[in-house]
Structure 1
């Protein structure tokens, strides 16, 4: 069973160039490149080109070697994957028309679409799928290997059937295949990996026109594409690291769509020359809790922390409505989310009572957070939480560090108190967060509770409603024990051309195959 995304999680707003002029921001520079302006709709014709900003420069255009999320915005257009995850987190066919598993979910057979060819005419069959996966599996140090760590073997049964044999039951395995792009095996081997990365060839709806590292990745529509032809004829994906430059690029007309920071939305939302898209992401910002450290070993202290924090004050006040309070460590778009998992709520009086019952005497609790990086306004969020906790009687030792240092402490399981963190599963499935939050090797799993280990493993061996029931039990138990305090689900925000007809994805990646201009 799937829980639909709330209707309030997607909205559009209009903005204008005048708003940014008032804030003193600079016009976009360093965004040049890509297609020239010939062929643009300057005479009233509907545009057929999109220029979009990506936040960082991809490391490689070889989908065998590169698995960073930013590059998937390129690969979704130029290569096929067995399945796709839709904008709202649903699983749907792509190169595979259907997939089935054996009774214990250790063997998965995928049936492929007939008549698929790469842009150079090479047929794409089960052998190409097997080659792509086998090549990734042969390099445990590769960026894509983690998505396939459950795979024992992969083989082509016939031209249109590929079989995956897993090391153990894994009900969510099809979602992992949405991140693995298929290359034409003969072409890849003849060219070699390095040459292929310079002139990639896939079977997707677009082909590479020009690669200018650090400047743009230019794609044109594949007229021989086996599927439905997209409306947009050409795409230029351009690395632009600055939030201000991305917004100004849209407002100046050099970009059609770009991700922006939450602080920029409020300053421009009342204007009228560009759209703002805001949609709930697939991530949750939460407080991690070292439940084995000092006073935090007492469940009453952990419960008091959750009850002391007014989540709506953060989402509606600090974040200006560009987030929604979270009740679990999974976002609504993520498979495994359930409305049946209840939030303990905001009750500062009860928090004070619990502290008194526990005999809390003001012992300082370290609170680590990153001053930059993955969580926008992280310092403000941390300070707001600190104030709420101190208001009910906690003594909080706030400890800010840069993102790299903070991440190293998370990975080393070195937190001594509470800490600000976030999880956004690339598969839009709860299995990845559960592995990290509730299993013994997880970076965030201080509790090492056998019950969470058992439930995290159990969900892999069941499907449908039975799997959702396991998620509900695990996440409800986690809330009761106070192992984490889910805070909020942030929104992905974009500035866009006012005529762009587009649906943003929960994972924040670009897919323009069903996009057009009005």
Structure 2
């Protein structure tokens, strides 16, 4: 009997440790669940949103996002712009320290940007700043950027995390991505791949010392697991709960739920370099076969707002009604006829099965893909869902091996960042392999002028062309940013999907006693 009791007790302890592997032991420690595993913390490589958000805790830029995502001073205390819009001169704060104790100077700033601009480095951020012609270190605390041509969203590129030149040259790119050193509010303490990342407060942080002394970041892709961890106290904060899980937290006094207007876009994409997805009639039939307007509100609920534009509702231009009116409408009979015609003409091979690729860490996208497959099969097109780890899927997209795919995207608050990289022929995120000379011209022109009205007209043309006419992407839902946290977490507000706002120009998160 005694042995049975010991076995039972050990089993219970094991179960409890599984349910709550990390407990936030005190109010100085903040444990958060994120939706994907972090793969790289080099700020020049953080084009994947989960990497970028974690890196934002380790690195600071010349400028930062303030209230309503307005640009405010960061490591640069101020700056001047020449009358012709081609010269940007930044004056750095003195005494800003990297985590290894060395002082941040203009040499580090110049090195950071030259590295990103180097084509051999292959940074996905290069497109944001390729207007730079020269970078001049005026003195230790002054750096000047001269542009080849006027570039309207240039200041947003000044948010990139600054890295220490000496350290980066000593350890190389791969080591920097695994053992980053920045000048942000937290420094890397431990990275147990596949398990957790531990950050500790940087006591010499230039703005103010973080109130949280330790931040533990855990990859928890499954919504149900994040919800369980919140209830058990295993995490203080979660960002990936689906509709069913959220309902149990909204009116629970032990938790706080906060939301902000959608800043991201969930969308369906097609490969223009692969058959049959390079056929417009096929792409149109796909959209006609699926009742997106009916099923998306049921799947996403409060987590999203039906989208007809690639640009979120928080961003101009405002031409969403036109895009909605001209979007492909649900018409299953027309879809079935098109599929039959395409099979008869040989565009759709007799043994073809449409593979719908989706990240397994996006539960609502997976549900949408499953509903989509059901509708396609009913319309006469064989289809199946292929859910996989995001990194693997992203690599396959880059190699042009996927024809139909679901993605989610967030970016800086300027239309250029949302459209240029996806739809420019040589855009760094052009996973559709789409090429159109007119679209290229509109995108180039829009980034070279400063008048917002004129830029808006050009972006409206781009959106109408790529979404309504050519059907490169099909917008699904603008993600509503929702934070669920223990009720003792204070000063944590959603509003910018690019960062985890623990220490910002307007906040310093803490846990109440």
> Matches of 1:341 and 1:261 in 2, distance apart?
32
1:435 aligns with one of 412, 415, 420: 420
2:153 aligns with one of 164, 167, 172: 172
When normalised by structure 2's length, the TM-score is: 0.74
Which deviates more, 406-415 or 319-328? 406-415
Instruction: Tell me which residue corresponds to 1:469.
Output: 457
1:491 aligns with one of 480, 490, 503: 480
- The yes-or-no answer on 1:510 pairing with 2:500 is yes
Instruction: Tell me which residue corresponds to 1:211.
Output: 190
Per-residue Cα deviation, 1:227-285 (whole angstroms, up to 9, x for no partner): 24544344233344554443222211231112324155256246623234444553322
SS at match of 2:305: strand
SS at match of 2:212: coil
Which residues in structure 2 correspond to 1:365-380 (within 5 Å)?
Answer: 367-370=354-357, 372-373=359-360, 375-380=362-367
> Matches of 1:217 and 1:184 in 2, distance apart?
21
> Matches of 2:433 and 2:55 in 1, distance apart?
37
Which deviates more, 116-125 or 72-81? 116-125
**Is the 8 Å Cα contact of residues 27 and 252 (structure 1) preserved in structure 2?**
no
SS at match of 2:497: coil
- The yes-or-no answer on 1:319 pairing with 2:300 is yes
Cα RMSD (Å): 4.3
Q: 1:352 to 1:217 in 2, by over 3 A?
A: closer
Q: 1:263 to 1:109 in 2, by over 3 A?
A: same
SS at match of 2:229: helix
Shift, 1:470, TM fit:
1.9
**Is the 8 Å Cα contact of residues 263 and 496 (structure 2) preserved in structure 1?**
yes
Q: Where do 5+ consecutive residues of structure 2 fail to align? A: 1-14
Which residues in structure 2 correspond to 1:97-496 (within 5 Å)?
Answer: 97-99=77-79, 107-118=87-98, 122-138=102-118, 140-141=120-121, 143=123, 146=126, 150=130, 151-166=132-147, 169-178=150-159, 180-186=160-166, 201-208=181-188, 210-214=189-193, 215-262=195-242, 264-266=244-246, 268-269=248-249, 272=252, 273-289=254-270, 310-334=291-315, 339=320, 341-344=322-325, 351=331, 362-363=341-342, 367-370=354-357, 372-373=359-360, 375-385=362-372, 395-403=380-388, 407=394, 410-413=397-400, 419-441=404-426, 443-445=430-432, 448-463=435-450, 464-483=452-471, 484-496=473-485
**Is the 8 Å Cα contact of residues 285 and 488 (structure 1) preserved in structure 2?**
yes
Shift, 1:410, TM fit:
4.2
Instruction: Tell me which residue corresponds to 1:43.
Output: none
1:96 aligns with one of 76, 92, 95: 76
**Is the 8 Å Cα contact of residues 302 and 482 (structure 1) preserved in structure 2?**
no
SS at match of 2:145: strand
When normalised by structure 1's length, the TM-score is: 0.74
Q: 1:86 to 1:263 in 2, by over 3 A?
A: same
Q: 1:103 to 1:295 in 2, by over 3 A?
A: same
Instruction: Tell me which residue corresponds to 1:50.
Output: 30
**Is the 8 Å Cα contact of residues 116 and 123 (structure 1) preserved in structure 2?**
yes
Shift, 1:33, TM fit:
6.2
SS at match of 1:260: coil
Which deviates more, 476-485 or 103-112? 103-112
Instruction: Tell me which residue corresponds to 1:17.
Output: none
Q: 1:224 to 1:471 in 2, by over 3 A?
A: same
Shift, 1:429, TM fit:
3.9
> Matches of 1:397 and 1:303 in 2, distance apart?
16
Per-residue Cα deviation, 1:204-240 (whole angstroms, up to 9, x for no partner): 23345x3242354444444443324544344233344
Per-residue Cα deviation, 1:92-147 (whole angstroms, up to 9, x for no partner): 43223445555775554333334433456543232221123334445724556645
> Matches of 2:162 and 2:261 in 1, distance apart?
29
> Matches of 1:233 and 1:406 in 2, distance apart?
36
> What is the aligned length?
475
**Is the 8 Å Cα contact of residues 20 and 232 (structure 2) preserved in structure 1?**
no
> Matches of 2:376 and 2:222 in 1, distance apart?
34
> Matches of 1:28 and 1:325 in 2, distance apart?
40
